[in-house]
């Protein structure tokens, strides 16, 4: 698969996915579900950090949003920063 210099937007990605042949479309969603399950398992394994009360609340809020699949890209980046 080649990478184009054009920006990949959600809209462009969705259009590309919708236009995939049926077998590739099904494989795409199967792979996406596997990635989501893997990410959930990894986050569940995160050690309990020595966080301040404020940081712990932010972390818990972000984790709830992630589990509800209602997290923005920026919030997801913020959640990932807790892993470092």
pLDDT in tens, 16-73: 888 999 999 999 989 988 988 888 777 776 665 677 888 888 988 998 998 888 999 9
> Is residue 2 scored above 80 in pLDDT?
no
What is the C-alpha separation between 77 and 84, in angstroms, rounded? 11
What is the C-alpha separation between 31 and 25, in angstroms, rounded? 10
Q: Which residue has the tokens 């972390």?
A: 59
Q: Which residue has the tokens 């966080």?
A: 51
| Predicted local distance difference test score (pLDDT) of residue 56 | 83
What is the C-alpha separation between 53 and 47, in angstroms, rounded? 16
Per-domain boundaries in the chain: 1-45, 47-84
> What pTM value is reported for the model?
0.47
Burial environment of residue 62 by CB neighbours within 10 A (0 to 12, 13 to 18, 19 or more): buried
């Amino acid at each position: 698969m080649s990478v184009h210099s054009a920006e990949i937007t959600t809209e462009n990605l969705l259009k590309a996915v919708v236009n995939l042949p049926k077998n590739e479309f099904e494989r795409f969603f199967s792979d996406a579900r596997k990635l989501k399950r893997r990410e959930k398992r990894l986050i569940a394994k995160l050690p309990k950090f020595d966080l301040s009360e404020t940081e712990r609340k932010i972390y818990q809020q972000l984790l709830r949003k992630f589990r509800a699949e209602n997290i923005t890209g920026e919030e997801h980046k913020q959640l990932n920063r807790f892993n470092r």
